[in-house]
Amino acid sequence: PAYLLEAIGMDYKPTADFNVFIAPITGKYTIVKTQPLDEAGAFGVEKATYDSNGNKLTPGKTSRLELGGYLRMMYKKEIIKNVTLLTKLDLFSNYMNNPQNIDVNWETLISMKVNKYISATINTHLIYDHDISIAVDSNDDGVIDAIGPRTQFKEIFGLAFSYKF
């Protein structure tokens, strides 16, 4: 999907390393342009409806608009020589639908310059959105045991070699 945020708010930068953006008026758009995904209602868009014979009555929606409040905190610091930490936390609450449920998007990147030729990165990304349902097969038997919101987590380790000539 594609995500687009439009926000009216205030950016607060108490130091060069840290800033907070607070937007009490935010539009969050989710756009799904792949037919099987929008027909299934993936990523929170409205799914297609069918009659008892399997004929499509209404197509799936390709977009979703949420209106709410948004907060972004970002911290970037060289924690030791040649090691930089960047972490960004985005929080969103939809005023129109379950405002007590907060969408969380948290990314952390640690960049390390090992020597003149080698650098490494560790990247983590945590996502939670209560509008997105994820199917779970807990015992790998091909049968879905549960469908509902879940915490998603991704981590990436990168190793780079560079040489100038």
Q: Tell me how far apart the alpha carbons of residues 12 and 19 are, in angstroms, rounded to a whole number.
A: 6
Q: Tell me how far apart the alpha carbons of residues 104 and 71 are, in angstroms, rounded to a whole number.
A: 10
Interval 88-99: pLDDT, tens = 999 999 998 889
Distances (CA, A) of 137 to 21, 36, 134, 142, 150: 38, 21, 10, 7, 13
Give pTM, 2 decimals. Answer: 0.79
**108: number of CA atoms within 13 Å, CB side?**
8
Interval 38-72: pLDDT, tens = 676 667 777 778 888 888 788 778 888 889 999 99
